[in-house]
Amino acid sequence: MQCTPTAISDVLVFQPKVFGDSRGYFLETFRKDIFQAHAGQVEFVQDNESKSSYGVLRGLHYQKPPYTQGKLVRVISGTVLDVAVDIRKESPTYGQHVSQVLDGEKKNMMWVPRGFAHGFVVLSQEAVFSYKCDNYYAPDYDAGLRWNDPILNIDWKIGQQDVELSEKDAKQPFINEIEPLELYEGGGQ
């Protein structure tokens, strides 16, 4: 499994080796030793999956302390644009974001550590999205950012008229209206 840092070095892209032939394919979607060699000590406790159609935008979500979450995200089928926004107080990349196309054919994955708001938009007709979390979902600590915040200036790769949001995501605050997360320690969590 190959690991590549993004423009924000704590956010990583993993590319597994896919072995295929006329019968289909095989890949390792997670190996603790390889993952932790690049991302550090992480213990996953919850797996989630969603299915969405073209234009569905989920995010930008995060959880407040003490229930912050790191996520290893991937697409089982379809294609999405995955986005991570740094909201770690004192981070030199605070307010910056990285985006990565995740593709069910390519099988690439992105590690979104604690201290980042995360979201994705479906670029294909539909997509099945899967992710591992290193902390449990805590609804009372659920938070988010506005997907179209002009300060963030995220290019979602589709027209605004095609974006489909939940009522909750349409009303999220702008980055200048949130309290940054106190997690940054000069790199990592």
- Indicate whether 164 belongs to any domain: yes
CATH number of the domain within which 42 lies: 2.60.120.10
Which of 123, 42, 30 is CA-nearest to residue 83?
123
Distance (Å, whole) CA 163 – CA 101: 17
Model pLDDT, residue 186: 45
How confident is the prediction for the chain on average, in pLDDT?
Answer: 94
Model pLDDT, residue 189: 43
- Is 50 exceeded by the pLDDT of residue 187? no
Distance (Å, whole) CA 158 – CA 99: 14
- Indicate whether 152 belongs to any domain: yes
Alpha helices in the chain (DSSP H): 32-39, 167-170
Alpha helices in 23-153 (DSSP H): 32-39
Spatial contact of 121 and 81, defined as CB atoms under 8 Å apart? yes
- Is 90 exceeded by the pLDDT of residue 159? yes
- Indicate whether 186 belongs to any domain: no
- Indicate whether 50 belongs to any domain: yes
Give the catalytic positions in this structure: 61, 131
- Hey, CA dihedral for 110, 91, 85, 137, is it positive or negative? positive
pLDDT digits (tens, 9 = 90+) for 109-153: 999 999 999 999 999 999 999 999 999 999 999 999 999 999 999
Note if the pTM is more than 0.85: yes
- Indicate whether 185 belongs to any domain: no
Can you state the percent helix, strand and coil of the chain, rounding each to 5? 10, 40, 45
Domain of residue 28, residue span: 2-177
What total of structural domains would you count in the chain? 1
- Indicate whether 118 belongs to any domain: yes
- Indicate whether 161 belongs to any domain: yes
The CB density around residue 35, as the number of other CB atoms within 10 Å, is 20
**Collapsing DSSP states into helix, strand and coil, what is residue 107?**
coil
Distance (Å, whole) CA 127 – CA 51: 6
pLDDT digits (tens, 9 = 90+) for 82-112: 999 999 988 999 999 999 999 999 999 999 9
Model pLDDT, residue 182: 76
- Indicate whether 116 belongs to any domain: yes
